[in-house]
Amino acid sequence: MQVTRYKDAKPYEAPEHFDMKCLRLQGREATQTDAIWIGLSHLLPGGHTSLKDAAVEKIYIVVAGEVTVESPTGIVTLGYLDSCRLAPGEARALRNLTNAPASILLAMPI
């Protein structure tokens, strides 16, 4: 068993993420995983990412606040424990349009 305590989670820099702090919870340099890695991103009010695609599937789960997700197929605002899946190659932008911080989990293949 490999445990990552939140207090010990290491930050990582993600390109084109603005007013956000990203932490690696599982996978990559945090723990050994075979298929996926898990990150937690904290978005300040106004925090956002660029509209950009990835070659792999992504799953987001909001764990605090509200996060607006924009893709070529639409725009949706996710609240506490709402989730969405983005297909490989599907562009996305995340935005915190509120005055309160928001947090979102990310799961994606290695």
CB-based contact 33:110 (threshold 8 Å): yes
Per-residue pLDDT of the chain (110 residues; tens, 9 = 90+): 999 999 999 999 999 999 999 999 999 999 999 999 999 999 999 999 999 999 999 999 999 999 999 999 999 999 999 999 999 999 999 999 999 999 999 999 99
d(CA 14, CA 59): 16
User: What does the pLDDT read at residue 23?
Assistant: 98
Q: What is the pLDDT of residue 65?
A: 98
Are 42 and 103 spatial neighbours (Cβ–Cβ below 8 Å)?
yes
On whether the CB atoms of residues 82 and 110 are closer than 8 A, the answer is no
CA 59, CA 49: separation in Å to the nearest integer? Answer: 15
Strand 74-78 to strand 36-49: parallel, antiparallel, or no bridges (unpaired)?
Answer: unpaired
CB atoms within 10 A of CB 92: 19
- Three-class SS of 39-67: EEEEEEEEEEECCECCCCCEEEEEEECCE
CA angle 87, 90, 91 (to 5 degrees): 140
CB 53 within 8 A of CB 89: yes
pTM for the structure as a whole: 0.94
